[in-house]
Structure 1
Amino acid sequence: MKPLAPSALIAAVLLAAAPAHAGQEEPPLRVVASFSILADLVRQVGGPQVSVQPLVPAGGDAHVYQPTPADARALGRADLVFVNGLGFEGWIDRLVQAAGYKGALVVATQGIEPIASEEGGEGGGHEHEHEHGHGHHDHAHGGQDPHAWQSVPNAMRYVRNIADGLCAARPANCPVWRDNAAKYLDELTRLDAGIRAAWQGVPPARRKVITSHDAFGYYARAYGVQFLAPQGVSTDSEPSAQDVARLIRQIRAEKIRALFVEQLASPRLLEQIARETGIRPAGALYSDALSPADGPAATYVDMMRHNTAALTQAAKGE
């Protein structure tokens, strides 16, 4: 029997001399993600081997975001950049050019079937009566609803695209990232099942929700909920008085109980609707940004759970 200590020492020396096949010795991959929700998904897959900086931080609104010189510097130093796509980041091309970024730009929604905006129709294009009622009125995103992450099956596609992007950027680390992605996909599968189960307790006729900004079309399609919004897909559009009056008539006629303000939207409009219908707003939903770390929606999974609990309770009249 050889003594343990020398053999352990030899093993340590050999390990130190070996090339860093797993990429563990390299500094973390410097990644920029366009907004906080996407940054969280990248962190879940990347783990400690990536350093992720969101351009639009938690609580920020990507629809009206103005890039800063600091953002251009961050982009210029990045090894890899992730964007949502579907017209969500109207400012990204100018920023990439200003930063002189020459690396890969990974579009996280690659392969997702987008929901088209419904153009035309009375009052600027709110088409509420089609299946699941995702009314879209969108002049800012080139005719597509970009909020694809609001469906968990879509978020799973984001995760696969993120893993592919990371693996292409640093193949040596790929096994670690594939493993992280697989574990996270299991968590998202459970999240999706939990959301479906939560809505099972709400009769279909009661699955109607008023929100201040139409960001939930993918949630509507995935989970069979009808969202009615007086504002279009982008937070920088204002609803007409006609839109609001029609919505108030519909709330009264259909006895809708669930009324929500999003964390980024002006509450004035919903306060007017609340006054005229007697419905109290049922709290805040998170649509385009996570909450700060100490809030109820600090991660994507937390956000989807928070929104679903708030929505189902309000729809049941609790």
Structure 2
Amino acid sequence: MSAATDTLRTPAPAGAFGRSVRDSLVVAKRNLIRMVRIPEVVIFGLIQPIMFVVLFSYVFGGSMNIGGTTSPSVYREFLMAGIFAQTVTFATAGAGAGIAEDMHKGLIDRFRSLPMARGAVLTGRTLADLVQTALTLVILAVVALLVGWRTHTNVGEVLAAFGLLLLSGYAFTWIGALIGLSVRTPEAATSGGLVWLFPVTFISNAFVDSSRMTPWLRHIAEWNPFSATVQACRQLFGNPGVSTSEAWPMQHPVWASLIYSILIVLIFRTLAVRKYRSATA
């Protein structure tokens, strides 16, 4: 009787979309609770980007030529947009490993037995990862301020830059979801996630001026979606690193970053949900 009463009191979601949103939020909550109960996951996720900030700032800071100067303070401001973008992108590996672990432990099969939207499991997972990424960015920004990074634009543009970073990170998380569903073990998902992340992040304008690369490598870096996000953030932060390239993504980095991120979400979410359905069929 009580169960029936609770059912009657629960407002029914408006159609399939409403059910999908509700189910996605439930899965996201489950993953966020898991993160709180296992704080070392978040802590270790913070260590790597902080190490990159400190090492690149102080080890390479005086040897990089940015805009005709080798000033360490200039390089720190040039660097931080790349570190922020690398941090949100590297969250992809963790997302893939988490989904692969759920598959390996049979949790996905238990979700499948429930009357819930098929895409909700993946959407909920990626939303939880987005929250963790946002927390990481906040702490990383504080560390960046401590080592000398500064912004030179208004609050709205700074917030817009962080919004682009989160959107880009969310988009790449769907690539991680597809990888996690395509391998058999969490270890394979982690390795598979990192294999393609390193060339994407390093063949870019994140850590060096891409105009100094060889021509064929420079063209790859200029059309790299990761480079568009980095350049957009530098522009919105008012940091050094204005590109002289004629490539469209470098001339319109904010729009390029938005378009790339939306396309990646549309393509890889479709592929990941399709893979999820076939993997659990």
TM-score by length of structure 1 reads: 0.30
Q: Larger Rg: 1 or 2?
A: 1
